[in-house]
Amino acid sequence: MARGYLLKAVLACLVASTALGFVFMAVAYPVVPRWLFTSITIGTVAYTAITLAAIRGVWQAYPAAAIMAVITLTASLTSRAHYAFIEQGLLVQSAIFITGSILQIALLILLLATFATRTPLRRQPSQDR
Protein backbone atom coordinates (compact mmCIF):
# COMPACT_ATOMS: atom_id res chain seq x y z
CA MET A 1 0.00 0.00 0.00
CA ALA A 2 2.71 2.48 0.99
CA ARG A 3 4.66 1.54 -2.12
CA GLY A 4 1.79 2.76 -4.30
CA TYR A 5 1.93 6.18 -2.66
CA LEU A 6 5.70 6.24 -3.03
CA LEU A 7 5.48 5.47 -6.74
CA LYS A 8 2.91 8.23 -7.21
CA ALA A 9 5.20 10.67 -5.40
CA VAL A 10 8.14 9.56 -7.54
CA LEU A 11 6.09 10.11 -10.69
CA ALA A 12 5.04 13.54 -9.46
CA CYS A 13 8.69 14.48 -8.89
CA LEU A 14 9.64 13.15 -12.32
CA VAL A 15 6.88 15.09 -14.07
CA ALA A 16 7.70 18.27 -12.14
CA SER A 17 11.42 17.89 -12.88
CA THR A 18 10.72 17.35 -16.57
CA ALA A 19 8.45 20.40 -16.73
CA LEU A 20 11.04 22.47 -14.88
CA GLY A 21 13.63 21.26 -17.38
CA PHE A 22 11.61 22.77 -20.22
CA VAL A 23 11.24 26.03 -18.30
CA PHE A 24 14.99 25.99 -17.74
CA MET A 25 15.57 25.51 -21.47
CA ALA A 26 13.40 28.53 -22.26
CA VAL A 27 15.21 30.71 -19.73
CA ALA A 28 18.69 29.46 -20.68
CA TYR A 29 18.34 29.65 -24.46
CA PRO A 30 19.03 33.37 -24.91
CA VAL A 31 21.94 33.53 -22.44
CA VAL A 32 24.04 30.35 -22.68
CA PRO A 33 26.45 29.25 -25.41
CA ARG A 34 25.13 26.86 -28.05
CA TRP A 35 27.16 23.90 -26.74
CA LEU A 36 25.73 24.34 -23.25
CA PHE A 37 22.18 24.68 -24.55
CA THR A 38 22.68 21.49 -26.56
CA SER A 39 23.80 19.73 -23.37
CA ILE A 40 20.77 21.05 -21.48
CA THR A 41 18.48 19.90 -24.29
CA ILE A 42 19.97 16.38 -24.33
CA GLY A 43 19.51 16.12 -20.56
CA THR A 44 15.91 17.33 -20.78
CA VAL A 45 15.12 14.87 -23.57
CA ALA A 46 16.67 12.02 -21.55
CA TYR A 47 14.70 13.06 -18.46
CA THR A 48 11.51 13.21 -20.56
CA ALA A 49 12.12 9.70 -21.92
CA ILE A 50 12.70 8.35 -18.41
CA THR A 51 9.56 10.09 -17.13
CA LEU A 52 7.46 8.67 -19.96
CA ALA A 53 8.86 5.19 -19.32
CA ALA A 54 8.03 5.48 -15.61
CA ILE A 55 4.50 6.63 -16.42
CA ARG A 56 4.12 3.57 -18.67
CA GLY A 57 5.20 1.35 -15.77
CA VAL A 58 8.67 0.36 -17.01
CA TRP A 59 10.47 -0.56 -13.79
CA GLN A 60 13.93 0.11 -15.30
CA ALA A 61 13.02 3.80 -15.52
CA TYR A 62 13.39 4.18 -11.76
CA PRO A 63 17.11 3.33 -11.51
CA ALA A 64 17.65 5.49 -14.61
CA ALA A 65 15.83 8.34 -12.85
CA ALA A 66 18.12 7.97 -9.84
CA ILE A 67 21.17 8.20 -12.11
CA MET A 68 19.76 11.27 -13.86
CA ALA A 69 18.98 12.92 -10.52
CA VAL A 70 22.56 12.42 -9.35
CA ILE A 71 23.94 13.75 -12.65
CA THR A 72 21.59 16.74 -12.50
CA LEU A 73 22.51 17.54 -8.90
CA THR A 74 26.22 17.16 -9.62
CA ALA A 75 26.06 19.48 -12.62
CA SER A 76 23.84 21.98 -10.84
CA LEU A 77 25.38 22.17 -7.38
CA THR A 78 28.95 22.43 -8.67
CA SER A 79 28.20 25.38 -10.96
CA ARG A 80 29.25 28.75 -9.57
CA ALA A 81 26.92 30.47 -12.03
CA HIS A 82 23.90 28.99 -10.28
CA TYR A 83 24.94 30.47 -6.94
CA ALA A 84 25.57 33.78 -8.70
CA PHE A 85 21.88 33.85 -9.65
CA ILE A 86 21.03 34.01 -5.96
CA GLU A 87 23.73 36.56 -5.17
CA GLN A 88 22.58 38.80 -8.04
CA GLY A 89 18.94 38.54 -7.04
CA LEU A 90 17.82 36.90 -10.30
CA LEU A 91 14.49 35.57 -9.07
CA VAL A 92 13.45 33.27 -11.94
CA GLN A 93 16.88 31.68 -12.36
CA SER A 94 17.28 31.29 -8.59
CA ALA A 95 13.84 29.71 -8.30
CA ILE A 96 14.66 27.20 -11.05
CA PHE A 97 17.98 26.32 -9.38
CA ILE A 98 16.52 25.94 -5.88
CA THR A 99 13.33 24.16 -6.96
CA GLY A 100 15.24 21.82 -9.27
CA SER A 101 17.71 20.90 -6.54
CA ILE A 102 14.93 20.24 -4.03
CA LEU A 103 13.07 18.09 -6.58
CA GLN A 104 16.18 16.01 -7.31
CA ILE A 105 16.89 15.44 -3.61
CA ALA A 106 13.23 14.54 -2.97
CA LEU A 107 13.29 12.20 -5.96
CA LEU A 108 16.38 10.40 -4.67
CA ILE A 109 14.88 10.01 -1.19
CA LEU A 110 11.60 8.70 -2.62
CA LEU A 111 13.42 6.31 -4.96
CA LEU A 112 15.47 4.96 -2.05
CA ALA A 113 12.28 4.42 -0.06
CA THR A 114 10.65 2.74 -3.06
CA PHE A 115 13.62 0.43 -3.57
CA ALA A 116 13.68 -0.37 0.15
CA THR A 117 10.02 -1.45 0.10
CA ARG A 118 10.63 -3.58 -3.00
CA THR A 119 13.79 -5.33 -1.79
CA PRO A 120 13.53 -7.87 1.01
CA LEU A 121 15.72 -7.06 3.99
CA ARG A 122 16.99 -10.61 4.34
CA ARG A 123 17.19 -13.59 2.08
CA GLN A 124 14.80 -16.44 2.54
CA PRO A 125 16.37 -19.85 3.07
CA SER A 126 16.54 -21.84 -0.13
CA GLN A 127 14.06 -24.62 -0.69
CA ASP A 128 16.74 -27.16 -1.76
CA ARG A 129 15.90 -30.76 -1.17
pLDDT at 126: 63
Rg (CA), the chain: 18
How many CA within 13 A on the CB side of residue 5?
A: 2
Alpha carbons 7 and 24: distance in angstroms, whole number? 25
Question: 41-92, pLDDT tens digit by residue?
Answer: 999 999 999 999 999 999 899 999 999 999 999 988 888 877 788 888 888 8
How much is the mean pLDDT over the chain? 88
pTM for this prediction: 0.83
Alpha carbons 119 and 96: distance in angstroms, whole number? 34
Does the structure show a pLDDT above 80 at 102?
yes
